[in-house]
Every structure is written in C-alpha cells, then in structure tokens.
Homo-oligomer: A and B are copies of this chain.
Amino acid sequence: MTNTFEKEVIRIKKQESFVHNLMENYDERKNDTDGISGHRIASRLAKLAEIGLTEESGSQRIGFSKEERAAKELVKVWMHKAGLKVSEDGAGNVFGRLSAKDNSKPAILSGSHVDTVPNGGHFDGALGVVAALEVVEAWKENEYQPKKPFEVVIFSDEEGSRFNSGYIGSKGMCGKYQLDELIKLHDANGMSFEEVLASDGLTIPGFKEAKRNLNDIELFVEVHIEQGKILENENLPCGIVNGIAGPVWYELTFNGVAGHSGSTPMVGRSDALVAAGKFIHELSNLPNRVSDTAVATVGKMHIHPNGINVISGKVTLYVDIRDTDIKTRNNLITKVLRLLASIENEFSVKIDKKELINILPVKIESTIQDILSESLRGYGIRPIKLPSGAGHDAMILGEDIPVAMLFVRSENGISHSPLERSSLNDCVQTIHVLKRFIEEIMKNV
C-alpha cells in the first residue's frame, strides 16, 4: 500500500513540476484570452507526458502499444467533457466531432498523433491534439458554434516505430496502403500486423473499414513543433509550412562472414559491420552535394550475432532519405545506390535492399498559405514560410485533400528526444492562430 501511495506522490510531483516548468515564464495576461487557457494546455501536455514516461524523462508510446492506447483513452475523456461526439475507426484513429450549424457540410479536421518514437519528447504529436481540442474549449466558452462540422482527430502510429513503417492511422483513413504489404509487417518482437492490431482490440476487416469518404472532409490542419531551428533563428513563435519533404526508407542488409575476432586475421575478413560503418559515415557526406534541404540518416541498426568476440556476419540498417524537392531527392538516392555498390565491391559483402516507404513531397496550396498569413498577421506575428523536413499525417492526407500546417518554435531545434521543448507562450500563440485560421475557413462556403 505504502509503495503504491509513494508512487502516486512521485507521479503527482513530476506532473506538477512539468506544469510548473511550462508556466514559469508564461504571459497569462497576453495569452489567456478569447477562451484559451495556457494552464489547461500545460496540464494536458503533462498528463500525456506521464504515460510511457522513461527513465531519461522522455515519453515512450509506440504505435498500438498500451501506452498509445492509454493516451487515446485519456483524450477521449477530454473530448467527451468538451461535448464532442467521440468515435474510433478500425485503424484506431479517434475522432471527436463538434456539431455544426449545417452538419451536411464537409468537415474541417484538426489534430495529430499521441504515439512517440522510443524515448521521445512530450510535444511531438501531443501538442497538435491538445491544440485542436483547445480550439473547441475556447468555442465552448465563447458559445461559438461553427458553420461546418469540426473534428479533433488522433491518428494511430504516426512515427512508425512499431513496424518501421509510419502513418498507419492516416494511411488507413485515406485507404493509401497495400493490404498484402501491411499484413507482412512484423514488430521487433516478431508480432505480425494482425497480432499487433488484435493486442489493441482491432482487426484486419475493421482496419479495411477505416477508409473514409474524403469528400466529407474539406481540409485538415495540423499544429506541430518545428523540429528545426528556423523559427528560433527568426525569433518567431510560429510559422507557416509551405511544403512537406517526402521520405524514402530503405532496409539494407549487409551480409558478411561471421568468425572469431581473435583468430581470424584482418586480411581476408568479410566483416559486415566494418562495411556498414563506412557506409554510415560516407552517407552523411552525400546530402549536402545535392541540396541544402536534403538529409540522409541511419538511426536504426541490428548487428548479428552481436557478440564482443565475434566478427559480424550480418548487419541490418535503415536509411531515411528526404528532401522537399523530388528532383534533388532522386539525385540523392542515385548517389546512395552508387555508394552501396562501391562498398559491396570493396568489402566483398552482399547488400540486400528493400524499399519500406516512398512518399512524395507535398506542396501546401497558396490560397491556404494566404489565409494562414492573414491569421498570423491578425495576431500580430510576422508570417514566415518554411518547409517541413519531417513527415506528418498531413503529408498523407495532402495527396488527396487540402492540408495546412502551423509549426511551433522548438528550443534548439531538438525533437525525438527527452530534451524536446517548446515554450508555453509559443504553443498558446500558435493555438490562437489556429483558432483564427479555422474560424476563417468556417466562413467560406
């Protein structure tokens, strides 16, 4: 009993300190206007942060895990309290729908995701969901009823940490997937896509039914942390996304020959990890040869058999390649393939290649960018436009319907890390802009 009690005390203290930390330099007089509450936003971010809290004070809520589920259930409670009609589709996407003056009109959607990368931060995803819900809270307080239906949405497994394949929820809603590819997926514990769905109370037939008629959606708008330093350098709380870089992910398997590290002379070795090491290092020099926006990263890798005194027989690694421009991205891919061929040759290792995802860059419509600019100016913020290097659910939806994105300044540009942080002032100011933008969209017929 004492133990449970002590744990509860620690939990409450951590939550209080998170809220306290956010509230410290918060300008209530300036920002707590028009029904929006900084304290409510901070408390909600804190409550989500403690689901899957890691030892390094990060968040770990992998897609379709019990932690992602717990976060969804918590947001559902808030949705209910805010008077939204809550539903969940067969991909685990959660919708909280606000009744409109004319419910026959296509809906405006806003939200993001509540899953995280392993040991990730407390803002990526969570902020976009809390932001959309805060707009509803403000409307409730202002007794404002929108002309068109509005839905707060949580998309499942955006990060792709479960299956090395992201945007599962938004792809499910848009019907943008090959079912035969999905059912071949396995997570790190060998669980199949179907087994993972089942562990979250979902099914394959249900997943197929998640596909929604996209004519019923007018627009999707997502608030997200920038995950870069442009806004910090420009000293701005938020900015307008003008395009989203499309990622290509490759799974590469380097096949060498295992052997004893003490008795196998250096000459004649076929060490998969040495070949992989050279690849990873040389890869980091390629993006700057094609553009300033191109990036290429190896963040995940498995070594086999992974023993101190064993030469690696097999290394599997994952390459993430992105650019906002399709031409320079293709140029980079060509360079990566050439590098692989030269390494195969130099180290006599065979490299198997498999493309996991390939998503086209998305352009944001200029009329939408104009309305966003007006919303920023209306709130006294100089509007700047910046590309998104990271992918988002808006990228998936953006291939079929109009999308908009607002970026919030990230401290030091850090994300996907326990150090990820945006100030509460910046978060709240962005939510004010989001609210103005949606209200403007609601006016248009």
Stretch at the interface among A37-45, A300-308, A432-440: A300-308
Cα distance, A297 to B308, chains bound together (Å): 8
Cα distance, A292 to B267, chains bound together (Å): 9
Stretch at the interface among A172-180, A254-262, A370-378: A254-262
Q: A423 within 8 Å of B by Cβ?
A: no
CB-CB under 8 A from A288, the residues of chain B are 266-267
Chain B proximity mask over A260-273: 1 for CB below 8 Å, otherwise 0: 11111111010101
Whether B159 pairs with A309 at a CB distance below 8 angstroms is yes
Number of interface residues of A (CB under 8 A): 74
Whether B287 pairs with A266 at a CB distance below 8 angstroms is yes
Whether A259 pairs with B160 at a CB distance below 8 angstroms is no
Whether A300 pairs with B303 at a CB distance below 8 angstroms is yes
Q: How far is the CB of A127 from chain B (nearest CB, A)?
A: 14
Q: A354 within 8 Å of B by Cβ?
A: no
CB-CB under 8 A from A214, the residues of chain B are none
Given contacts A260-B390, A276-B277, A280-B277, A160 and B265 within 8 Å (CB-CB):
no
Q: Which of B260, B306, B308, B389 contacts A260 (CB 8 A)?
A: B389
Q: How far is the CB of A67 from chain B (nearest CB, A)?
A: 15
Q: Most chain-B Cβ atoms within 10 A of its Cβ — which of A264, A294, A307?
A: A307
Q: Which of A54-83 contact B (CB under 8 A)?
A: none
Q: How far is the CB of A356 from chain B (nearest CB, A)?
A: 8
Q: How far is the CB of A166 from chain B (nearest CB, A)?
A: 7
Whether A249 pairs with B389 at a CB distance below 8 angstroms is no
Q: How far is the CB of A336 from chain B (nearest CB, A)?
A: 14
Whether B260 pairs with A119 at a CB distance below 8 angstroms is no
Cα distance, A117 to B160, chains bound together (Å): 32
CB-CB under 8 A from A137, the residues of chain B are none
CB-CB under 8 A from A333, the residues of chain B are none
Q: Which of A221-256 contact B (CB under 8 A)?
A: 226-228, 245, 247, 249
Whether A259 pairs with B300 at a CB distance below 8 angstroms is no
Whether A274 pairs with B266 at a CB distance below 8 angstroms is no
- CB nearest neighbor in B for A245: B262
Q: A279 within 8 Å of B by Cβ?
A: yes
Chain B proximity mask over A28-49: 1 for CB below 8 Å, otherwise 0: 0000000000000000000000
Whether A160 pairs with B309 at a CB distance below 8 angstroms is yes
Cα distance, A2 to B313, chains bound together (Å): 37
Q: A330 within 8 Å of B by Cβ?
A: no
Q: Besides the contacts A262-B388, A301-B303, what 15 more A-B pairs have beta carbons closer than 8 Å?
A: A117-B307, A118-B310, A159-B307, A161-B307, A161-B308, A257-B414, A258-B417, A261-B295, A261-B322, A264-B295, A274-B281, A277-B277, A297-B309, A299-B308, A307-B416
8 nearest A-B pairs in the assembled complex, by CB-CB distance:
A277-B280, A227-B263, A262-B390, A261-B297, A263-B389, A258-B417, A277-B277, A278-B281
Can you list 15 A-B contacts with CB-CB less than 8 angstroms, sorted by A residue number? A117-B310, A118-B307, A124-B260, A159-B307, A227-B259, A228-B260, A228-B264, A259-B414, A261-B295, A262-B322, A263-B413, A266-B294, A267-B288, A300-B308, A313-B417
